[in-house]
Amino acid sequence: MYVTHLECSLTGERYPAGEPHNLSAAGKPLLVRYDHGRARSSLNRESLGQRAPGMWKWRELLPLPDGVEPVSLGEPETPILSLTNTAKRADATTLLVKDEGRLPTGSFKARGLAMAVSMARHFGIESVALPTNGNAGAALAAYAARAGMEAIVVCPAETPEINVRETAAYGARVWVADGQIDECGRLIREGAA
């Protein structure tokens, strides 16, 4: 594993890896930082190409410690597709789209929540919560269910009903709140406290 530290996405303030964190002191997400030189010296195209496809083939470039079993729903690699006709209509040379609908919960949120729930389980956390406008709630609920963890999701009233139902179908406790996503975040912070 090549993780060196975590870093506030706004201020750059550093946080130690290997222990649970929430948002930074500035209230922003933390980014994982790596020793790219070490990774470059030991990972190569040939060795990576021999691994089974999927998210976890990149294990050394993910923050989950060696030997810790990930929480997985079988995250496949997703293709990048060329939209030639659409590019022509837009007078663009090339237009590419990554088909993330193939992920277990139908959105790119699956990858991040697979990692977050894996780390939470590794740290012994039994309950996870987040505010969401939609797809992140379903992904959190699905991975928490796989991990045997409680999931709590707070959505703004404008969240599409299909997202609320999907999140609840995975077993999460879902609340629909008045206000926007920032109000939902406040409710999550108060509940955590």
| 83 within domain boundaries | yes
50-108 residue pLDDT tens: 999 999 999 999 999 999 999 999 999 999 999 999 999 999 999 999 999 999 999 99
| 34 within domain boundaries | yes
Q: 37 is in which domain, residue-wise? A: 1-56
d(CA 29, CA 192): 16
| 113 within domain boundaries | yes
43 with 113, same domain: the answer is no
52 with 147, same domain: the answer is no
Given a cut of 90, whether residue 191 has pLDDT beyond it is no
What is the full DSSP assignment across 129-156?
EEE-SSHHHHHHHHHHHHHT-EEEEEEE
Given a cut of 80, whether residue 193 has pLDDT beyond it is no
Longest dimension (CA), the chain: 53
Given a cut of 90, whether residue 42 has pLDDT beyond it is no
28 with 93, same domain: the answer is no
Judge contact between 165 and 182, C-beta under 8 A: no
96 with 15, same domain: the answer is no
Report pLDDT for 192.
78
190 with 109, same domain: the answer is yes
Report pLDDT for 188.
92
Task: Please report, for the domain that includes residue 135, its CATH number.
Answer: 3.40.50.1100
175 with 137, same domain: the answer is yes
73-85 residue pLDDT tens: 999 999 999 999 9
d(CA 75, CA 176): 29
1 with 81, same domain: the answer is no
| 111 within domain boundaries | yes
